[in-house]
Amino acid sequence: MRIGIDIGGTKIAVGLISESGQVTKRRKVKTDAHKGYPGVRDQIRGLVAALLSEAGAGATDVGRIGIACAGQIDHATGKILFSPNLNWTDAPLKHDVEEATGIQTFIENDVNAGTYGEWRFGFHREASNVVGIFIGTGVGGGLILNGRLFRGSHGVGGELGHTTLNPFGYQCRCGNRGCFEAYCGGSYIEERVRQRLMQGYRGKLWDIVEGRAGSVHVGRIEEAYLLGDDLCTEIWGEVVEYLGAGLQSVANLINPDLIIFGGGVVKGTQRLIDEALLVMKRRAMRASIAGLKIERARLGDDATLLGAAFVKDE
Amino acid sequence: MRIGIDIGGTKIAVGLISESGQVTKRRKVKTDAHKGYPGVRDQIRGLVAALLSEAGAGATDVGRIGIACAGQIDHATGKILFSPNLNWTDAPLKHDVEEATGIQTFIENDVNAGTYGEWRFGFHREASNVVGIFIGTGVGGGLILNGRLFRGSHGVGGELGHTTLNPFGYQCRCGNRGCFEAYCGGSYIEERVRQRLMQGYRGKLWDIVEGRAGSVHVGRIEEAYLLGDDLCTEIWGEVVEYLGAGLQSVANLINPDLIIFGGGVVKGTQRLIDEALLVMKRRAMRASIAGLKIERARLGDDATLLGAAFVKDE
Give phi and psi for A66, each to the nearest 5: -110, 130
Round to whole Å and give the CA distance between B314 and B153: 12
Buried b (16+ CB within 10 A) or exposed e, A104-123: ebbbbbbbbbbbbbbbbbbb
The mean pLDDT value for B156-184 works out to 96
User: Given this model, what pLDDT does residue A314 score?
Assistant: 61
- A117 in any annotated domain: no
B198 shares a domain with B166: yes
B148 shares a domain with B98: no
The mean pLDDT value for A266-290 works out to 95
Task: Give the range of the structural domain holding residue A175, as residue numbers without chain letter.
Answer: 124-296
The mean pLDDT value for B210-229 works out to 97
Residue contacts between A and B (CB atoms, under 8 Å): 162
- B121 in any annotated domain: no
B160 shares a domain with B282: yes
DSSP letter, residue A120 = I
User: Given this model, what pLDDT does residue B306 score?
Assistant: 98
Round to whole Å and give the CA distance between B2 and B19: 7
Residues of A in contact with B72 (CB under 8 A): 285, 287
B253:A159 CB<8 A: yes
Round to whole Å and give the CA distance between B168 and B182: 12
B269 shares a domain with B246: yes
User: Given this model, what pLDDT does residue B54 score?
Assistant: 93
A260 shares a domain with A233: yes
B110 shares a domain with B196: no
A185 shares a domain with A248: yes
User: Given this model, what pLDDT does residue B314 score?
Assistant: 61
- The reported pTM is 0.95
B267 shares a domain with B180: yes
A43 shares a domain with A131: no
Residues of A in contact with B82 (CB under 8 A): 287
A135 shares a domain with A99: no
A285 shares a domain with A190: yes
CB within 8 Å of chain A, chain B residues 252-271: 252-257
- A118 in any annotated domain: no
B278 shares a domain with B150: yes
User: Given this model, what pLDDT does residue A286 score?
Assistant: 86
The mean pLDDT value for B16-29 works out to 95
CA quadruple B75, B78, B82, B86: dihedral sign = positive
- A119 in any annotated domain: no
> Which among B153, B159, B288 has CB closest to A253?
B159
CB within 8 Å of chain A, chain B residues 12-31: none
The mean pLDDT value for B149-169 works out to 95
A285:B155 CB<8 A: no
* Least confident range of A98-107, A285-294, B125-134: A285-294
The mean pLDDT value for A144-152 works out to 96
- B141 in any annotated domain: yes
Report whether pLDDT(B281) > 80: yes
| Beta-bridge mates of residue B148 | B145
CATH number of the CATH domain containing B290: 3.30.420.40
Round to whole Å and give the CA distance between A198 and B277: 40
Summarised one tens digit per residue, pLDDT across range A173-210 is 989 999 999 999 999 999 999 999 999 999 999 999 99
Report the domain count for chain A.
2
The mean pLDDT value for B30-46 works out to 95
Beta-sheet strands, E only, within chain B: 2-7, 11-17, 23-30, 64-69, 72-74, 79-83, 88-91, 105-109, 130-135, 139-145, 148-149, 258-262, 293-296
Summarised one tens digit per residue, pLDDT across range B225-259 is 999 999 999 999 999 999 999 999 999 999 999 99
Q: What is the mean pLDDT of chain B?
A: 96
User: Given this model, what pLDDT does residue A285 score?
Assistant: 86
